[in-house]
Amino acid sequence: MRQCHREIARWMEPLGAQVRVDAAGNFRGFYPGEHASSPRLILGSHLDTVPNAGAYDGVLGVVLAITLLEAFKERKLPFGIEVVGFSEEEGVRFGTPFIGSRALIGRLDDELLNLQDAEGISVRRAIQQFGLNPQEIPRAHVDPDTLGFIEFHIEQGPVLEELGCPLGVVEAIAGQNRLEFIFLGRANHAGTTPMHLRYDALAGAAEWLGEVERAAKAVPEAVATVGKIKVKPGATNVVPGEVHLALDIRHRSDEIRTKIVSQLIRKAEQISERRGLRLQHKVLLCQQAVRMDGFLLQQIELALQKAGCVPHRLVSGAGHDAMILAEKVPAAMIFLRTPGGISHDPAESVTAEDVEKAIECGLHLLDQLASPPVFLKRTVRA
Ligand code: GLV
Ligand code: MN
Ligand code: MN
């Protein structure tokens, strides 16, 4: 990440931008506007990624933002542009996502700072180990003169490809919950413990896993995933005594999602009770669905049309920093077509032609925003 920050700084500084890394590990590059008192618009996306990832999820949004600045050729707008490369959007290390963007809206609190990774290192400690000072997190807040946040991102799904559209505009982002479940049984000898005398934590967890899949399949548009599992002690000849599972569950309706989560907690409790296991669960994230800003959405649609694209509206199933920033500033997203709908995998890709369209659309959008006085009067919500 340090190398990545250095590289981006090397691209931005020659454009006249001031760069820094805030105390939550977000890269911040500020390209000033016409006047020292000009408000600012934030552009960007995240720089972290998932294990065995593709090359575009997140980072493309940062590269596109810098490309737009390069295209200005030192021209100044009535607003400055802050490029943000968010840290820890995916939630791989600490089990909960959006750590960087939460710092920008004042939600990187003690509870989050005390969260630990698999090695027992807290977020606070990780920040210190990176050479940053957690006490300076308040300085990461969005500036009060911020007009909005716009994020370019790959769609990570098949919709735009099916429609034959290079770009689309996001109208809402589905909410998501992330939870950790721990099934506790009793580790014992695999050869000598009769089947009826076992408290097999993994067999209980496996039964529950079937329920997770059934519950999501029973509700249209619901998705539920257990993408991480740890078995202790983890030996072929030992009955598993402890299993940790990470549940990720999403739906655009907060009510429906919350209902499925409650149902799955109940199922885990019933299975544990029947099998003589103990159960613990911890909520790591409960993020509501978020609508994007209506004004920015219309401006993006106009820019898409000017770039010769049909302004198709989508709901994002993936989570994004834009859904966090939306709590404080008008936020919007532009999606790029994702070949095969493949993401979170090395096969993830984009075409050069679609990226070119995104740049064209971004330049139209910035031109539009630089003119309507209604946009320039907007500021951060208290
Ligand atoms: C971010 O990639 C997410 O998990 O939606
Ligand atoms: Mn991702
Ligand atoms: Mn992403």
Residue 176 alpha carbon, nearest atom of ligand 1: 5
What distances in angstroms separate CA 92 from CA 39, 52, 154, 173, 245, one per listed residue? 34, 12, 19, 20, 14
Measure the CA–CA gap between 246 and 265, rounded to whole angstroms. Answer: 13
Best residue for ligand 1 mutational test, from 320, 323, 335, 348 (most atoms within 8 Å of Cβ): 320
208-218: pLDDT as tens digits: 999 999 999 99
Could you list which residues have their CB under 5 Å from ion ligand 2? Answer: 57
* Ligand that comes closest to the CA of residue 155: 3
User: What is the number of the ligand closest to the CA of 316?
Assistant: 1
Ligand index nearest the alpha carbon of residue 47: 3
Percent of the chain with pLDDT over 70: 99
Q: How does the average pLDDT of the chain come out, rounded?
A: 96
* Residue 73 confidence (pLDDT): 83
- For β-strands 40-46 and 80-86, DSSP reports them as parallel
Pocket test for ligand 1, best of 59, 344, 345, 348 (most atoms within 8 A of CB): 344
Q: For residue range 122-172, list pLDDT tens digits in order.
A: 999 999 999 999 999 999 999 999 999 999 999 999 999 999 999 999 999
User: How far apart are alpha carbons 364 and 352 in whole angstroms?
Assistant: 19
Cis peptide before 194 (omega within 30 of 0): no
CA 92 to chain CA centroid, Å, is: 11
For residue 153, how far is its CA from the centre of ligand 3 (angstroms)? 7
For residue 250, give the ligand 1 atom closest to its CA: 5
Distance CA 167, CA 362 (A): 11
Task: Please report, rounded to a whole number, the percentage of residues in the chain having pLDDT higher than 90.
Answer: 96
Q: What is the DSSP string of 126-148?
A: HHHHTT--GGGGGGGSPPTTEEE
Mean pLDDT score, 108-118: 96
What is the pLDDT at residue 340?
97
**pTM beyond 0.75, yes or no:** yes
State which ligand 1 atom lies nearest to the alpha carbon of 344. 2
pLDDT of 381 reads: 66
- Nearest CA residue ID for atom 1, ligand 1: 319
SS3 at position 96: coil
pLDDT in tens, 318-361: 999 999 999 999 999 999 999 999 999 999 999 999 999 999 99
What pLDDT does 382 receive? 52
Calculated CA dihedral for residues 102, 107, 110, 113, nearest 10 degrees? 0
> Which protein residues are within 6 Å of ligand 1, measured from CB?
90, 318-319
CA-CA distance, 242 to 205, in Å (whole number)? 10
